[in-house]
């Protein structure tokens, strides 16, 4: 399943929120601190 990056809005994240995945568009790291 593909998840939406909360920073840029593109659907680029392969893992659920909090998984430390990195967006290929804006390079935002998905962690619970930055939300």
The H or E element that residue 12 is part of is strand 11-13
Whole-model pTM: value is 0.80
CA separation, residue 28 to residues 2, 5, 12 (Å):
15, 8, 11
Residue 6 has pLDDT above 90, yes or no: yes
* pLDDT for res 33: 83
- The residues pairing with 7 across neighbouring beta strands, listed in sequence order, are none
pLDDT tens by residue, 15-35:
999 899 999 999 999 988 866
Q: With CA atoms as reference, report the closest residue to 8 among 32, 22, 31, 33.
A: 22
């Amino acid at each position: 399943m593909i998840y939406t990056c909360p920073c840029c809005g593109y659907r680029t994240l392969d893992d659920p929120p909090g998984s430390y995945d990195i967006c290929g568009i804006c390079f935002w790291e998905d962690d619970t601190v930055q939300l």
